[in-house]
Amino acid sequence: MTLGLLLYHPGPQFCHQKSGDVDSACLRRALCGLSGKRMDSMQKQDLRRPKIHGAVQVPPYQPPTLASLQRLLWVRRTATMTHINEVWPNLFLGDAYAARDKSRLIQLGITHVVNVAAGKFQVDTGAKFYRGTPLEYYGIEADDNPFFDLSVYFLPVARYIREALNSPRSRVLVHCAMGVSRSATVVLAFLMICENMTLVDAIQTVQTHRDICPNSGFLRQLQVLDNRLRRESGQL
């Protein structure tokens, strides 16, 4: 019998460690019918081969610095800028102009509007503004200020967007005044929480379709989220 047949035999004497490495003791028991000389030879040759003896080492996740994130946001700028852009399937990022153009939103098939600049002295739309349309409204009164804690809304907004996108034929617009800081931040948080992206991956995904520029305080809050999610997934 060859070694290949023994290694893939479903018998109870062959096992793996949790890390994916072959347990030497289990392998010895599986090969107990072979001669000592043959076993010694395989221990010196086959069991030392990386594909059998150990798993490939994956480098630990390196959290991005604030400076590297700001550099990434500046270097990967897109050539054009419009009022509204689809940055993820059925998820749009836009500004106040796009949010107020109800006919355009309906034409695009938008079903849900998330306003991250709600309030009387900001983008004052609200559920009343969209009355008589098929648009569902969700508002957050956030300031584009590095000291404003937007992170408290990361999970609720991510859940809202996820539930909306899970509905057939639903499309979501997330907007603020300019569509580059507050709304961009919660879209990045959604991609990190619900699509398992790192912060850098999320930024690169969105910037493929629209220029964004979260303020330094929001970037720090996203860094905290990134570290927590990577820690929970065992990457830190």
Amino acid type, 105: L
The answer to whether residues 170 and 109 touch, using CB atoms and an 8 Å cutoff, is no
Whose tokens are 């969700």? That residue is 138
Provide the β-strand partners of residue 112: 136, 172
176 is a catalytic site residue: yes
Phi first, then psi, for residue 78 (nearest 5°) are: -85, 165
- Residue 63 tokens, joined: 């959290």
Residue tagged active-site, from 15, 26, 32, 176: 176
Cα 66 to Cα 59, 73, 223, 224: the distances in Å are: 21, 11, 8, 11
DSSP notation for 169-182: T--EEEE-SSSSSH
Taking a C-beta distance cutoff of 8 angstroms, is the pair 172, 150 a contact?
no
Residue type, 91: L
Residue numbers annotated as active site: 176
